[in-house]
């Protein structure tokens, strides 16, 4: 529900009207989805367009403008992390030819800041800026397993959205899964997100300068084509490279004894 | 100059305070850079933070939040184009081991929607969301050469910003360069953007469903390591693949005669 009581809230409500399934909207669709009058919508869309947050396509519909991509790219835990990770991720993608993603936690969601997909990938669930609940993806499970107890309890106590018949929605089962992720350092999700293509997602943590988990690195393959265990060494090696580049103490090369 | 006369203008002025060199700001820095009072800044930053447009780091400074990355990723000429281009760009990056970018035009600037950089790259001028004037990059020259006469005249009549001693700032020289780009289908920029590392940028057009130029594909290498001519076949092959994936008529395979 957009909070349209304030001026800022109304501006943000216009932006909130847009989403992956609603990337191009007419003025009246924006008005309806934002809960704002057509007059107010018209005025705000005009201002947002002049600034570059929205753009108008030849068919008269509005979409997100490049100014927001430019600004969104400045998110410190977003594309700035991507800049460090991209050569490592690229190598992993070449080696595995799988979908590779880097995700960071935003509240109770994972947001992908990098996504390289296999050319054969049936369905595109992973793209930069993609957002999913933590409990349904490999990267999300890793981020949740290493989050603070407060974050974990909040997710475990909230409703766990179901995406497929296999999605884990029982808090007790999820709690055991998280303990397993912490024990093994690996998050595994099978058929949690889409029923259309049987998928296996495997993810490991990426650590920052304070050795805290700042991101998760994951690959997704068609289920049955590769064993999860076979993907872990390459994932760990790549995650270690990114962690080292981020300054993680535990990922630094051991000091030579004299 | 931010237009802070309207409520929307004030919200956008807060966002405008952030930039590549100003990715983390204190409240008073935002206030100063946006021209808003500290009280107004405090209130708007609070609303933007609650919505996810801004986030606060442990040191108390504010940065761009992941919600803006998520939203910015929906730009139809931005990361959506990237989704189509990424497997082709990835192959080109592997083949050339050069910096590879895909840029689209936004007014008189080029904005990068994809950037894969060589691991040896000295300086990072190319990143997703990066924005440069059209006349100083290879991709920018291609986009300008194929833009409407109105856009070209506007850029040619405006001041042409100088970045290095070699930057072309004479409209007559630029006009000849653009004619050459249209004749050859290739944009070449040498040492136009940074004086720190001698760079050669070569770019070619990417066409959309109406056969219009919708983007430019470019590589940047250290000057002297590779001849521009040697990069063109791989660039053209890759651009053709992306154009075909975008539905460009001129990039479709020739029909077989019966």
User: Tens of pLDDT along A226-255?
Assistant: 888 889 999 999 999 999 999 899 888 776
Q: Which of A43, A66, A75 sits opposite B75 (nearest CB)?
A: A66
Does residue B115 sit in helix, strand or coil?
strand
Distance (Å, whole) CA B8 – CA A257? 61
Give residue A124's pLDDT: 56
Residue B15 forms contact with A (CB below 8 Å): yes
Is B7 an 8 Å CB contact of chain A? yes
- Put simply, whether B73 touches A (Cβ < 8 Å) is yes
Question: Which residues 110-129 in chain A show a CB within 8 A of chain B?
Answer: 111, 113, 116-117, 119, 124, 127-129
Distance from CA of A125 to the nearest CA of B (A): 12
CA dist A246 and A210 (Å) reads: 9
Residues of A in contact with B9 (CB under 8 A): 47
Q: What is the pLDDT of residue A122?
A: 46
Q: Where in chain B is the domain with CATH 1.10.10.10?
A: 3-65
Do the chains contact at B129 and A74, CB–CB below 8 Å? Answer: yes
CA distance linking residue A125 with residue A201, whole number of Å = 12
Q: Start-end ranges of CATH 3.30.450.40 in chain A?
A: 79-251
Query: Residue A208 in contact with residue A245, Cβ under 8 Å?
Result: no
Instruction: Render A7-70 in DSSP notation, one character per residue.
Output: HHHHHHHHHHT-BTTBSSB-HHHHHHHHT--HHHHHHHHHHHHHHTSEEE-TTS-EEE-HHHHH
Distance (Å) from the alpha carbon of A182 to chain B's nearest alpha carbon: 25
Q: What is the DSSP letter of A249?
A: G
Higher per-residue confidence, A76 vs B91: B91
- Residues across chain B: 258
CB-neighbour burial class of residue A205 (10 A; exposed 0-12, middle 13-18, buried 19+): buried
A90 touching B (Cβ < 8 Å): yes
CA distance B85 to chain A (A): 11
Contact A106 B67 (CB under 8 A): yes
Nearest-CA distance B249 → chain A (Å): 19
- The pTM assigned to this predicted structure is 0.81
At residue A94, the 3 state secondary structure works out as helix
B79-251 CATH fold: Beta-Lactamase (3.30.450)
How far the first Cα of chain B sits from its last, in Å, is 63
CB contact (8 A) between residue A68 and residue B75: yes
Residue B124 has pLDDT above 60, yes or no: no
Predicted confidence (pLDDT) at residue A203 exceeds the cutoff of 70? yes
Whether B167 and A119 have beta carbons less than 8 Å apart is answered as no
Per CB-CB distance under 8 Å, the chain A contacts of B73 are 69, 72, 127-130
Average pLDDT over residues A166-186: 95
pLDDT at B2: 46
B199-257 pLDDT, tens digit each: 889 999 999 988 999 999 999 888 888 888 889 999 999 999 999 999 899 888 776 65
- Of the two residues B34 and A198, the one the predictor is more confident about is B34
- What is the rounded CA–CA span in Å between residue A34 and residue A224? 43
CATH 1.10.10.10 fits A3-65, yes or no: yes
- In this structure, what DSSP letter does residue A253 have? P
Label residue A21 by pLDDT band (50, 70, 90): confident
Considering only the beta carbons, identify the residue of B52, B94, B131 that sits closest to A70: B131
Asked if the C-beta of A53 comes within 8 angstroms of chain B's C-beta atoms, the answer is yes
Helix (H, G, I), strand (E, B) or coil at B236: helix
> For A31-35, A234-238, B76-80, B117-121, which range has the lowest pLDDT when averaged over its residues?
B117-121
Residue B4: pLDDT above 80? no
pLDDT over 80 (residue A5): no
| Closest alpha carbon to A113 in B171, B135, B60, B73 | B73
Q: Find the range with the poorest average confidence among A120-129, B2-11, B44-53, B184-193.
A: A120-129
**For an interface test with A, which of B17, B73, B106, B113 has the most A Cβ atoms less than 10 Å from its Cβ?**
B73
Higher pLDDT, A78 or B103: B103
Share of chain A above pLDDT 70, in %: 93
Residues of chain B contacting residue A129, judged by C-beta atoms under 8 Å apart: 69-74, 79
Element (H, E) at B55: strand B54-56
Residue A120 pLDDT = 59
Cross-chain residue pair B11–A8, CB shorter than 8 Å = yes
Nearest CA in chain B to A105: B66
**Pairing verdict, β B109-116 and B213-222:** unpaired
Are B203 and B190 contacting, i.e. CB atoms less than 8 angstroms apart? no
In 3D, which of A12, A65, A71, A53 has the Cα closest to residue A36? A12
Contacts of residue A78 in chain B, CB cutoff 8 Å? 64, 66, 69
A19 Cβ under 8 Å from any chain B Cβ: yes
* Residue B1: predicted pLDDT: 43
**Residue A10 class from Cβ within 10 Å (0-12 exposed, 13-18 middle, 19+ buried)?**
buried
Does A143 touch chain B if contact means CB atoms closer than 8 Å?
Answer: no
How confident is the model at residue A2, as a pLDDT?
46
B113 to chain A: closest CA residue? A69
Residue B5, pLDDT above cutoff 90? no
Q: Do B205 and B181 touch, CB atoms closer than 8 A? A: no
CB contact set of B21 (below 8 Å; sequence gap of 6+) = none
Whether B5 and chain A come into contact, CB under 8 Å, resolves to no
Chain A contact for B158, CB < 8 A? no
Q: What pLDDT is stored for residue A97 in this prediction?
A: 81
């Amino acid at each position: 529900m957009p909070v349209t009581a304030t001026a800022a809230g109304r501006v943000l409500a216009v932006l909130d009207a847009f989403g992956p399934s609603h990337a191009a909207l007419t003025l009246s669709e924006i008005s309806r989805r934002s809960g704002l009058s057509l007059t107010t919508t018209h005025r705000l869309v005009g201002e947002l367009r002049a600034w570059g947050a929205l753009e108008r396509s030849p068919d008269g519909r509005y979409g997100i403008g490049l100014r927001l991509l430019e600004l969104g790219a400045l998110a410190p835990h977003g594309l700035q992390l991507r800049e460090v990770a991209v050569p490592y991720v690229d190598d992993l993608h070449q080696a595995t030819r799988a979908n590779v993603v880097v995700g960071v936690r935003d509240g109770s969601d994972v947001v992908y800041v990098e996504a390289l997909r296999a050319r054969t990938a049936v369905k595109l669930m992973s793209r930069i800026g993609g957002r999913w609940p933590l409990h349904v993806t490999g990267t999300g499970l890793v981020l949740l397993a290493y989050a603070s107890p407060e974050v974990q309890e909040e997710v475990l106590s909230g409703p766990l959205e179901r995406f497929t018949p296999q999605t884990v929605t029982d808090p007790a089962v999820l709690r055991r899964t998280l303990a397993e992720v912490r024990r093994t350092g690996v998050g595994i999700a099978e058929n949690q997100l889409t029923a259309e293509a049987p998928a296996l997602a495997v993810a490991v943590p990426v650590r920052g300068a304070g050795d805290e988990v700042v991101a998760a690195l994951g690959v997704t393959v068609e289920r049955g084509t590769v064993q999860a265990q076979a993907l872990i060494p390459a994932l760990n090696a790549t995650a270690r490279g990114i962690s080292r580049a981020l300054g993680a103490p535990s990922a630094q090369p051991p000091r030579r004894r004299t």
